[in-house]
Amino acid sequence: MNLHNIKLAIRNLKRHKLYSILSITGFSVGFAVCIFIALFVYNELSMDKCFSGYKNIVRVYDPKENNCSLDILLNQQFKEKYPEIRYACPLEQMSDMEISAKSGLNFTRFTGLISTTNDFFNVFPVKTISAIGRLPFEGKESILITKSFAAILFPNEDPLGKPITIFDFIKGQVTAVIEDFPKSSSIQAKVLINAENPDFRLSQNCNNGRCWSPMNHFLVLQTKTDFAALAKKMTADIPKDHPEIKTIALQKLTDIYLSAPINGNGNITGNLSLLFIFLSVGLVVLVLSIINFLNFYVSLQYTKLREIGIKKINGASFKNLLRFSLAEVSVSILISVAISLVLFLIFLPFANQLFERNLEASWLLRPALLSVLILITVAIILINSLAPISILSRFNTSSFLTKMNVGGNKQTGRRLLTLMQFAASIVLLAVVFSLQKQISYAKHANLGFSKEQLLLLKLPIGFKSQDAFKQKIKELPLCESVSLSRGVPGSVNLFMGDGKSGKTVMLQTLYVDEDFFKTMEIGLKSGRTFLPGDMGNACIMNEEAVRQYEWADFEGKRFENGREDGYQVVGVTNDFHIESMHTKIKPACMLAAANDRHDDLRNVSIRLTQGNLSQQMDELRAVWKTFIPDEPMSYSFYDEQFEVMYQKDERLGEAIGIASVIALILTFMGILGQVFQISLNRTKEIGIRKVNGAKVSDILAYMNKEFLIWVILSIILAIPLAIYLINKWLESFAYKTEIGWLTYAFAGLIMLTTVVLTVTLQSWKAATKNPVDALRYE
Amino acid sequence: MLHLSNIDKYYDSKFQRTFVLKAVNMEVKEGDFLSIMGPSGSGKSTLLNIIGLLDQPSAGEYSLYDKSVLDLKEKVKVDYHRNFMGFIFQAYHLIEDMTVYENIETPLIYKGVKSRDRQAMVADLLDRFNMVAKKDLFPQQLSGGQQQLVGIARAIVGKPKLLLADEPTGNLQSVQGEMIMETLKTLNQEGMTIIQVTHNEKFAEYGKRIIRLEDGIIRKDEKS
């Protein structure tokens, strides 16, 4: 019985080739997108679940101060005072910075440095591969490296016992090689240093003359510990000895990844809103493809009304028809699922690039994911086979056999589905166009300084001959101008407040030399640039700073940062961007660095002359080599540096762009199927119209008219939604371009063109048919 | 076996009621061969559809074996279609996606007959109609007369008591038409009750009894 149905279903597919190809490919694409999104969501939700006992691992933080960097000394207290705590480890991470590592002649840069103790391995079971002693950290100077990092820094050597220098000032020896961190861990590192050694801690906080090393604290609790009760107990104890801590709360390890980052967080963080965006875009595409499939399948049923009538007369019950419909839909859907799996495998590397994740095909076999996908498939099969049958069983049997175009015009439900398809496509298109417009605006906007032909060299920590280095570069023909500074547009990490004046304004602070403004081409609004006598005692502020200080005039004002003797304000620059367009320009202050304190100025900005870039780079490398023979030249271009700031936005644009192209294709196929069915249903009507003198163009116009109404309706529906979504996204930019009605009009126009083209192409056949053939039909 | 009394069928439009059938009274006995004749639009097909439970009368009584069959549930109707009656049509109404064999087999599948029994029953009929060689062809590969033979085979494979034929020869040349009528006659002689609707005076004569319809009213009911 069922075999019989399946045989017939396959025969049916072969007979209606156009329908089959359109519906199956459409659904395959939709389902492939669905698989990708499912995998992505699975990845995001299973973060940190690779650690056994993850349910009992928590991080301590202070919710009042929104801070999770707490005194390292707490570790001892955690271990001794609370029986609920099985293990505790202090952990400080440096995860967003390139760090140099040296051993003998070998040199490399890496990201991911952790300062911790042997307790780490109690909390996070990362296996030790080989070690000198019993424990991974043996001795104050001990440093651990991961297996893959060992292969880079010590190719073909045994790293154990070798000396290693991190950052120029952390000098130790490798005491153990450990496994790489699991990919789904939000803690990632290549090098671990021993936090027992105060010199191996990465930062220090001071308050009221008391200083401490801030650390993240991870705890493993006894099973069934009441988190809230424990946190309450800690809040009662800890602030007594640590006045900087107000309250204590515990955050689950698995919650860290998708939560808004707490200050002092070093874990990799995901992005909850990005997750929702991907999820909803994926759902939209899936729904569109289901609508598409349903549209095709229902219209196929309409062409087979007679067949259904015959079956009913021959004794087919509703159940029989449903079973056949199920078989038919299952065959199509299962073929689609198979194709989508192939598509998935083909595009997986591309998707990984887009998502910046390491999704693996084998995850599909994990029970959680597999069952979800099977459930979705079954649900889709049921929806698609029940809907058309319930529509069709409404009709009277004898009308199946006589009136051939039953329900040809009364398909409001299906038209509504089409309306949704149109609207979704328009929204996606409008969003993509707006995204692109804003990103291109952000990339090409005037930053207040000239970022073209501008190169940045980063000198290593500990380098001392800045002036000689600058002099050497100045002499090169490639150099139009060169400047030393601490902090440059794109990366300023120093904030200073004015201790003396009435208002506290935090200023982004740069130490610069006298050539800075000339090299960067930052325009002065008033005042003057630095003169030789200004060095060490003058500063220049930006307009925003003057605005925030509410100064009528900068003349005679001083900036007292409390460290040096204060700086006389000698000029005001135009506002220029230090950060991306996402953030508003902040008040900034350029301090004239004292001539004897150039050691801190590790950024060398060089304005290049027009010329052969690779030759210029070679010349620069030669100079670098004479000063810093051990390290390769570290450099970047300003324009690239600023473009990188919009990578996330661009990736989002790319993802939505792909989704909108798929949506457009699906919609296109949907219209094709509908027009096909309509022209089939109305062959006779078209024939009659032609016999009565209708021209081909009249018939095309007549066929188009019906769809145009729906397109216009969908535009009206889509535009408010698109405007809402775009404005939501634009909120993340402090500086934004006007999107303008043209963008929306363009999205609508594309939809309109697609529809008109499809309808015209498809109905051309029906319109040019000889009416005699059409009317002979029964 | 079949009793119609005072059957009306009408369509209401805004201002008027159009009667397709009016006060039709009719009795059909087991073993009868009834021809319904009449010009286009006289209500023949509607009458046949009502008899075949494909359409509902607007008023009147209809009973099979003294059991009213008006307002039946879908399930019971399906049962009548499966076990009691078979249909043949002017346009044959074969399923184009199915081979001759599969077309004939269809009602048996819905009846739930086992695969082996089905094979035997279909083979019997193919043999009887000399179509064994054509069993794997599709309908469009056959001549009209052959298609109608398949239609008959499909209608009778489930061994119904009543065969309803809606202009079975309407699309056929006269030679093929005669062949079909001979087949029906033989079936009737074997005991099957047949009701046919026809335009053709000559083919109507095959029936034992002719009813003449005009504007929805029975004008004549005579033995032939």
**Who among B91, B96, B110 is closest to A314 (CB)?**
B110
Task: Name chain A contacts of B119, Cβ cutoff 8 Å.
Answer: none
* Any domain includes B66: no
- pTM above the 0.90 mark? no
Question: Is residue A284 within 8 Å of residue A659, measured between CB atoms?
Answer: yes
CA B206 to chain A, closest CA, distance in angstroms equals 25
Look at residue A620 in the predicted model and tell me its pLDDT.
93
Nearest chain A residue (CA) to B160:
A314
pLDDT at residue A1 greater than cutoff 50: no
Instruction: Answer yes or no: is B165 within a domain.
Output: yes
Q: How far is A682 from chain B (nearest CA, A)?
A: 20
Q: Please give the C-alpha separations between residue A461 and each of A108, A458, A594, A601, B110, in angstroms, as whole numbers.
A: 15, 9, 19, 10, 86
Q: Is A402 exposed, middle or buried (0-12, 13-18, 19+ CB in 10 A)?
A: middle
Per-residue confidence (pLDDT) for residue A767, from 0 to 100: 79
Helix (H, G, I), strand (E, B) or coil at A175: strand
Higher pLDDT, A492 or A189: A189
Residue of A310, A312, A397 to mutate for B, most B C-beta atoms under 10 A: A310
Can you tell me whether residue A637 is helix, strand or coil?
A: strand
Number of domains in chain B: 1
Residue A367, classed as helix, strand or coil, is helix
Looking at residue B62, its amino acid is Y
Q: Which two tokens stand for residue A417?
A: 């589905």
Closest CA to A438 of A729, A764, A703, A243: A729
Backbone dihedral angles phi then psi of residue B127, each to the nearest 5 degrees = -60, -50
Spell out which residues of chain A touch residue B96, defining contact as CB-CB under 8 Å.
307
User: Could you tell me the residue range of the domain that residue B155 belongs to?
Assistant: 32-57+73-223
Question: In this structure, is residue B200 part of a structural domain?
Answer: yes
Please name the helix (run of DSSP H) or strand (run of DSSP E) that holds residue B196, with its range, or none: strand B193-198
> How many angstroms separate the Cα of A733 from the Cα of each of A353, A454, A579, A655, B51?
25, 25, 11, 19, 75
For residue B187, being part of any structural domain is answered with yes
Q: Which helix (H) or strand (E) holds A485?
A: strand A479-486
Please tell me the distance in Å from B224's CA to the nearest CA on chain A.
30
Is residue B95 domain-resident?
yes
* Residue A670, number of CB atoms within 10 A of its CB: 29
Q: What is the pLDDT of residue A693?
A: 78
Given this model, what pLDDT does residue A404 score? 46
Cβ contacts of A4 on chain B, cutoff 8 Å: 109
pLDDT of residue A492: 82
For the segment A539-544, the average pLDDT, to the nearest whole number, is 92
What is the average pLDDT across A306-325?
84
Predicted local confidence at residue A395, as pLDDT: 65
Q: Name the pairing type of β-strands A454-458 and A538-542.
A: unpaired
Distance from the A314 Cα atom to the nearest Cα atom in chain B, whole angstroms:
5
Min CA distance, A21 vs chain B (Å)?
18
How many angstroms separate the first and last alpha carbons of chain A?
Answer: 33
**Is pLDDT at A683 greater than 80 in this prediction?**
no
Looking at per-residue pLDDT, the higher value among A408 and A75 belongs to A75
* Rounded-to-10 torsion of CA A723, A728, A733, A737: 0
* A607 pLDDT above the threshold of 50: yes
Mean pLDDT of chain A: 86
Which of B75, B97, B154 shows the shortest C-beta gap to A314?
A: B154
pLDDT at A774: 63
Q: How far is CA B112 from CA A317, A338, B150, B154, in A?
A: 12, 33, 21, 15
Q: Where are the alpha helices (DSSP H) in A239-317?
A: 253-256, 272-303, 305-313
Q: Which residue of B has its CA nearest to A10?
A: B97
Mean pLDDT of B147-158: 93
Q: Which among B138, B103, B108, B133 has a CA at the least distance from the CA of B120?
A: B108
Task: Report the largest interatomic distance among the alpha carbons of chain B, rounded to a whole angstrom.
Answer: 58
pLDDT at A127 > cutoff 50: yes
Which residues are within 8 A (CB) of A113 and not within 5 positions of it... i.e. 6 or more apart? A93, A94, A95, A99, A166, A189, A190, A191, A192, A193, A202
* A314/B106 CB distance under 8 A: yes
Q: Are A679 and A706 in contact (CB under 8 A)?
A: no
Q: Is there a contact between A315 and B111 if contact means CB atoms under 8 Å apart? A: yes
Question: pLDDT digits over A154-185, tens only?
Answer: 988 899 999 999 887 788 999 999 999 988 89
**From A11, A306, A398, residue closest to B49, measured CB to CB:** A398
Chain B interface mutation, best of A7, A314, A776, highest count of B Cβ atoms under 10 Å: A314
Contacts of B55 in chain A (CB under 8 A): 396, 398
Q: Would the pLDDT of A456 be above 90? A: yes
What is the nearest CA distance from A685 to chain B, expressed in angstroms?
A: 21
**Chain B residues touching chain A at CB-CB below 8 Å:** 49, 52, 54-55, 74-75, 78, 81-83, 87, 89, 91, 93-98, 102, 106-107, 109-111, 154, 158
C-alpha B131: how far from chain center = 22
Interchain pair A314, B81: CB under 8 A: yes
Residue A32 CA, chain-centre distance (Å), reads 20
- pLDDT, tens digit, 9 for 90 and up, residues A209-246: 778 888 999 999 999 889 999 999 999 988 888 888 88
- Predicted confidence at residue B203, as pLDDT, reads 92
- What pLDDT is stored for residue A113 in this prediction? 93
Do the Cβ atoms of A317 and B55 come within 8 Å?
no
Domain boundaries of chain A, sorted by first residue: 1-47+271-407, 54-256, 412-445+644-778, 461-633
Q: In whole angstroms, give the CA distance from residue A290 to residue A381.
A: 10
Is pLDDT at B72 greater than 50 in this prediction?
yes
Checking A558-564 for CB contacts under 8 A at 24+ apart, the result is A558/A500, A559/A498, A559/A507, A559/A589, A559/A591, A560/A498, A560/A499, A560/A500, A560/A501, A561/A496, A561/A497, A561/A498, A561/A499, A561/A509, A561/A591, A562/A499, A562/A500, A564/A536, A564/A537, A564/A594
Q: How many A×B Cβ pairs under 8 Å?
A: 58
Instruction: Please give the Cα distance from A267 to A725 (Å, whole number).
Output: 30
Q: Which of A11, A318, A398 sits opposite B54 (nearest CB)?
A: A398
Q: What SS3 state is found at A70? A: strand
Does residue B21 form part of some domain?
no
* Within-domain flag for B11: no
pLDDT digits (tens, 9 = 90+) for A706-746: 888 888 999 999 999 999 988 888 888 889 888 888 899 99
Which residues in chain B touch residue A5, judged by CB atoms under 8 angstroms apart?
Answer: none
pLDDT at A410 over 60: no
pLDDT score of A704 more than 90: no
- What letter represents residue B67's amino acid? K
Q: Which one of B47, B72, B79, B93 makes the best mutation probe of the A interface by having the most chain A beta carbons within 10 Å?
A: B93
Domain harbouring B162, CATH code: 3.40.50.300
Q: Is the dihedral of CA A760, A763, A767, A770 positive or negative?
A: positive
CB contact under 8 A, A317 and B74: yes
Residue A311 and residue B110: Cβ atoms within 8 Å?
A: yes
Question: How confident is the model over A486-514, as a mean pLDDT?
Answer: 80
